[in-house]
């Protein structure tokens, strides 16, 4: 998306020397992302995939002129890593790490707001704009270039749906996984607003799930502000009440956050609803 | 409310309140009626269960002598309240109630900051209180609760001038303990304004964020709301939820697991177990997950893997290890897509399992096998 990832995106990988950091740095480079280095405290001077590793974000940003970072740092240290990135002047930070205490997320998200930085995640697969860059962990092979914007609270379910879109020739402008935690840096409404503005995007696929009211808020936004068509799938129609379904945010608590309430709100707002993942490309094909 | 963190029992929640400077009634915990002390003034006996609706179920009783107290304690310990048998009773001095207030702090997901909720209609479920009688204040974590907010809350709750100081320190303490203990919810309902003008927490609910427990080891207690299998899975860092149906679903990722269950329902298949493998590439973790699943004895197991970080052949390796070690008598339908999918499917079909690449087809097959 021209507003988040561009050809001038220069990426630092926080936690690059770890297994996930190294593997995904390589995958992002294969996808065409300008990865300019990594940061791991205590690993200054190491070289990973031919790229320099720095001790601190300050030094890394000064030397590499990076403007974006991705965080693979383990949960107990993630808050510090994100704040360090914000203080180093980075304006887009994608937090992949899962199981970060919600208090830490609130603190770095609120701090990012004050410093006008954008956080995506935590507990998310990041984002990818085929043909431009990927800052995340979605498999390269499922992505293809086109005009569909995808926004999702889920990880592998996003892969499922993106791969179904690609197979049917429906390429993507940008796929963004906003994360499965209750408190996230960029929510549905904010992502939809970006897609509405984005010239590369003609239609949006939204993948929600039970818990919270983010989908209901998105529905309100769709009704009032969106001119582009929205296709939605909501996971958890058959989920029991009061049980946390894997994601910290995915729970029907005290009668709130049911799939039906979300489906009703989105339908009322004019979104087309798919009953199962493979139905999304079918519905889009019907309408185009 | 945010998610579904660790719910503390009332007496543990009250310990935290007391440590944070909030008054709670004098009391103690008994496990058997014989542990009751002599009754000098009226007491209340409260079943310690992690669910609401105790009063209606007979889990809260008032007594004025030891004989009566023992009889009620015996009765309470025999109750089953929404599936929970109380193992402990909190015995407290009975409060002289002037009026009852509602106070809580939770997290507003949309605003991404804590939210304080107050009402003059305490002692009932906050959901049943009309919107007009409830007010909310956002608390910015960098600023804490502000003086003007304390004034607004005090006047909304019609707190008399002479008791404003007491209310102010209670609110400051509530905010502090909410934030310091990584809570998702701290609720005082009712907050009792006693006849002699003292604010006391009549009941307390504290939910601690699960992901923060590594820094609150002292708060960790077995989660009573989980089944034995669910608890065991949680200890192994596997998300498992038991449900009513016949089909056990294992998938990698919470959204994908939920979507698989939804997809099954199109063919009449009903999920019996939700098991999210998460993002692992360790065959050992797959083995652990599959063993838990087998113990829940579903009629059929549907394995849905969309490989990325999780490689399809690593998953197949884990499945085959269990097959070779104990032999799996429950039919397995596997839907395998993504990184190393051909190899993964090949390994499973050679072992006689159904391995396909299409989710819809897998759901149809599993539903047929799980049909009653």
Beta bridge partners of B105: B116, B186
Place of tokens 């609706």: B53
Peptide bond into B92 cis (omega under 30): no
Q: Does A156 touch chain B (CB under 8 A)?
A: yes
Query: For the segment B255-268, what is each residue's pLDDT rounded down to a tens digit?
Result: 999 999 999 999 99
The SS3 of residue B338 is strand
| ipTM of the predicted assembly exceeds 0.85 | yes
The SS3 of residue B250 is strand
- SS3 for chain A is CCCCCCCCCEEEEECCCCHHHHHHHHHHHHHCCEEEEEECCCCCCCEECCEEEECCHHHHHHHHCCCEEEECCCHHHHHHHHHHHHHCCCCEEEECCCCCCHHHHHHHHHHHHHCCCEEECCCCCEEEECCCEEEECCCHHHCCEEEEEEEECCCHHHHHHHHHHHHCCCCEEEEEECCCCCCCCCCHHHHHHHHHHCCCCCEEEEEEECCCCHHHHHHHHHHHHCCCCEEEEEECCCCCCCCCCCCCCCCCECCECCHHHHHHHHHHCCCEECCCCCHHHHHHHHHC
Mean pLDDT, rounded, for B316-330: 94
Catalytic status, residue A19: no
Half-sphere exposure of B292 (CA within 13 A, CB side): 29
User: Which residue in the set B254, B259, B338 is minimally distant from A139, CB to CB?
Assistant: B338
* Domain range summary for chain A, segments of one domain joined by +: 10-120, 138-287
At residue B53, the pLDDT reads 84
DSSP string, B272-315: EEEEE--S---HHHHHHHHHHHHHT--SEEEEEEEESSS-HHHH
Beta carbons within 8 Å of B194's beta carbon, 6+ residues apart: B95, B96, B97, B98, B200
Q: Does A205 touch chain B (CB under 8 A)?
A: no
Contact B224, B51 (CB under 8 A): no
Residue B326 C-alpha, separation from nearest chain A C-alpha, in angstroms: 28
Q: Does A253 touch chain B (CB under 8 A)?
A: yes
Token pair of A240, please? 């029991």
> Annotated catalytic residue: which of A10, A79, A247, A272?
A247
Contacts of A274 in chain B (CB under 8 A): none
Of all residues in chain A, what percent carry a pLDDT higher than 90? 89
Q: How far is the CA of B106 from the CAs of A190, B7, B116, B138, in angstroms?
A: 23, 13, 7, 10
User: Which residue in the set A106, A240, A254 is minimally distant from B127, CB to CB?
Assistant: A254
C-alpha–C-alpha distance, residues B312 and A215, integer Å: 32
At residue A223, the pLDDT reads 97
C-alpha–C-alpha distance, residues B364 and B360, integer Å: 6
Scan residues 134-153 of A and list those with Cβ closer than 8 Å to B. Answer: 137-139, 142, 152-153
Contacts of B112 in chain A (CB under 8 A): 106, 109-110, 183-184
Nearest CA in chain B to A100: B211
Q: Which fold has domain A10-120?
A: Rossmann fold (3.40.50)
Contact A102, B208 (CB under 8 A): no
DSSP string, A198-213: -TT-SEEEEEEESSSS
**Chain-wide mean pLDDT for chain A?**
94
C-alpha–C-alpha distance, residues B69 and B92, integer Å: 11
Query: For the segment A262-283, what is each residue's pLDDT rounded down to a tens digit?
Result: 999 999 999 999 999 999 999 9
Q: B364 pLDDT band (50/70/90 cuts)?
A: very high
Are the Cβ atoms of A153 and B255 closer than 8 angstroms? yes
- Report the CATH number of the B228-370 domain: 3.40.50.261
* Domain range summary for chain B, segments of one domain joined by +: 26-93, 96-219, 228-370
Q: Tell me how many degrees the CA angle B300-B303-B305 measures, rounded to the nearest 5.
A: 170
Nearest CA in chain B to A241: B243
Contacts of B143 in chain A (CB under 8 A): none
User: Which of these CATH numbers, 3.30.470.20, 3.60.40.10, 3.40.1410.10, 3.40.50.10070, describes B96-219?
Assistant: 3.30.470.20
A105-119, A121-135, B119-133: the lowest-pLDDT one: B119-133
Mean pLDDT, rounded, for A231-251: 86
User: Which residue in the set B113, B215, B264 is minimally distant from A106, CB to CB?
Assistant: B113
Beta carbons within 8 Å of A43's beta carbon, 6+ residues apart: A17, A53, A55
Mean pLDDT, rounded, for A241-261: 81
Q: B2 pLDDT band (50/70/90 cuts)?
A: very low
Residue A169 predicted with pLDDT over 90: yes
Q: Tell me how many degrees the CA angle B88-B92-B94 measures, rounded to the nearest 5.
A: 140
Are the Cβ atoms of A160 and B271 closer than 8 angstroms? no
Going by C-alpha positions, the residue among B60, B122, B57 that lies closest to residue B92 is B60
Are the Cβ atoms of B112 and A276 closer than 8 angstroms? no
A44-53, B3-12, B146-155, B301-310: the lowest-pLDDT one: B3-12
Q: A240 pLDDT band (50/70/90 cuts)?
A: confident
Contacts of A177 in chain B (CB under 8 A): none
C-alpha–C-alpha distance, residues B5 and B296, integer Å: 24
A154-163, B70-79, B219-228, B249-258: the lowest-pLDDT one: B219-228
Token pair of A253, please? 């608590």
At residue A241, the pLDDT reads 83
Q: Which fold has domain B26-93?
A: Dna Ligase; domain 1 (3.30.1490)
For testing contact with chain B, the best of A77, A156, A158 (most B CBs within 10 A): A156
Residue B72 C-alpha, separation from nearest chain A C-alpha, in angstroms: 30
Mean pLDDT, rounded, for B157-176: 97
Contacts of A101 in chain B (CB under 8 A): 182, 209, 211-212, 215
Q: For A41-70, give one letter per residue: b (16+ CB within 10 A) or e.
A: bebeeeebeebbbbeebeebbeebebbbbb
Mean pLDDT, rounded, for B61-81: 96
DSSP assignment, residue B214?
A: G
Nearest CA in chain A to B311: A139
Are the Cβ atoms of B256 and A154 closer than 8 angstroms? yes
- Report the CATH number of the A138-287 domain: 3.40.50.261
Residue A80 C-alpha, separation from nearest chain B C-alpha, in angstroms: 15
C-alpha–C-alpha distance, residues A272 and B247, integer Å: 29
Of all residues in chain A, what percent carry a pLDDT higher than 70? 98
Nearest CA in chain A to B357: A160
Are the Cβ atoms of A250 and B110 closer than 8 angstroms? no
DSSP assignment, residue B34?
A: G
At residue B335, the pLDDT reads 97
Nearest CA in chain A to B212: A101
Mean pLDDT, rounded, for A232-254: 84
**Model pTM?**
0.93
Token pair of B309, please? 């970080």
Residue A3 predicted with pLDDT over 80: no
Residue B111 C-alpha, separation from nearest chain A C-alpha, in angstroms: 9
Beta carbons within 8 Å of B134's beta carbon, 6+ residues apart: B102, B117, B118, B119, B126
C-alpha–C-alpha distance, residues B202 and B239, integer Å: 35
Mean pLDDT, rounded, for A19-40: 96
Contact A100, B211 (CB under 8 A): yes
Token pair of A56, please? 């601190």
Q: Does A249 touch chain B (CB under 8 A)?
A: yes
For testing contact with chain A, the best of B104, B211, B219, B341 (most A CBs within 10 A): B211
């Amino acid at each position: 998306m021209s507003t988040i990832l561009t050809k001038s995106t220069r990426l630092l990988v926080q936690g690059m020397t770890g297994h996930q950091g190294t593997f995904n740095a390589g995958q992002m480079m294969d996808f065409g992302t300008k990865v300019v280095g990594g940061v791991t405290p205590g690993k200054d001077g190491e070289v990973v995939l031919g790229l320099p590793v720095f001790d601190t974000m300050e030094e890394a940003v000064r030397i590499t002129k990076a403007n974006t970072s991705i965080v693979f740092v383990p949960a107990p240290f993630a808050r510090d890593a994100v704040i360090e990135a914000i203080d180093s002047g980075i304006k887009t930070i994608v937090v992949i790490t899962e199981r970060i205490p919600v208090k830490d997320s609130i603190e770095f998200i609120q701090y990012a707001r004050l410093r006008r930085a954008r956080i995506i995640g935590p507990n998310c697969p990041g984002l990818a704009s085929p043909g431009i860059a990927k800052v995340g962990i979605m498999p390269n092979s499922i992505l293809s270039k086109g005009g569909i914007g995808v926004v999702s609270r889920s990880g592998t379910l996003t892969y499922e749906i993106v791969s179904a879109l690609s197979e049917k020739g429906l390429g993507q402008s940008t796929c963004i996984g906003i994360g499965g935690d209750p408190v996230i840096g960029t929510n549905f409404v904010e992502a939809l607003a970006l897609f509405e503005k984005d010239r590369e995007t003609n239609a949006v696929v939204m993948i929600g799930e039970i818990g919270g009211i983010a989908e209901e808020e998105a529905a309100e936004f769709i009704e009032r502000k969106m001119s582009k068509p929205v296709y939605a799938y909501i996971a958890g129609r058959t989920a029991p009440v009061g049980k946390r379904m894997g994601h910290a945010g995915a729970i029907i608590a005290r009668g709130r956050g049911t799939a039906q309430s979300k489906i009703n709100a989105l339908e009322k707002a004019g979104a087309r609803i798919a009953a199962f993942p493979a139905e999304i490309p079918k519905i889009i094909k019907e309408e185009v | 409310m945010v998610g579904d963190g660790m719910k503390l029992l009332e007496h543990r929640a009250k310990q935290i309140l007391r440590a944070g400077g909030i008054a709670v009634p004098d009391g103690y915990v008994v496990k058997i009626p014989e542990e009751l002390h002599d009754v000098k003034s009226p007491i209340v006996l409260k079943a310690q269960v992690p669910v609401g609706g105790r009063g209606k179920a007979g889990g809260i009783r008032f007594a004025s002598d030891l004989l009566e107290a023992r009889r009620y304690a015996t009765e309470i310990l025999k109750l089953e309240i929404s599936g929970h048998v109380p193992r402990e009773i909190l015995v407290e001095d009975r409060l002289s109630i002037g009026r009852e207030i509602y106070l809580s702090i939770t997290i507003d997901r949309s605003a991404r900051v804590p939210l304080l909720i107050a009402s003059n209609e305490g002692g009932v479920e906050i959901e049943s209180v009309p919107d007009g009688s409830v007010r909310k204040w956002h608390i910015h974590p960098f600023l804490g609760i502000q003086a003007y907010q304390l004034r607004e809350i005090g006047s909304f709750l019609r707190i008399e001038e002479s008791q404003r100081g007491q209310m102010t320190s209670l609110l400051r303490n509530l905010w502090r303990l909410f934030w310091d203990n990584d809570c998702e919810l701290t609720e005082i309902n009712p907050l009792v304004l006693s006849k002699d003008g003292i604010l006391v927490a009549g009941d307390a609910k504290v939910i601690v964020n699960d992901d923060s427990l590594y820094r609150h080891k002292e708060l960790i207690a077995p989660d009573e709301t989980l089944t034995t299998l669910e608890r065991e899975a949680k200890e192994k860092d596997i998300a498992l939820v038991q449900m009513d149906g016949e089909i056990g679903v294992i998938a990698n990722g919470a959204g994908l697991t939920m979507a698989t269950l939804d997809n099954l329902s199109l063919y009449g298949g009903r999920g019996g177990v939700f098991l999210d493998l998460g993002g692992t590439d360790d065959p050992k973790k797959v083995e652990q997950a599959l063993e838990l699943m087998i113990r829940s004895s579903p009629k059929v197991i549907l394995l849905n893997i969309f490989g990325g970080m999780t490689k399809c052949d690593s998953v197949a390796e884990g499945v085959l290890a269990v097959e070779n070690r104990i032999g799996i008598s429950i039919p397995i339908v596997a839907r395998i897509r993504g990184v190393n999918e051909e190899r993964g499917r090949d390994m499973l079909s050679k072992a006689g399992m159904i391995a396909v690449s299409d989710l819809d087809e897998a759901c149809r097959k599993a539903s047929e096998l799980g049909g009653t």
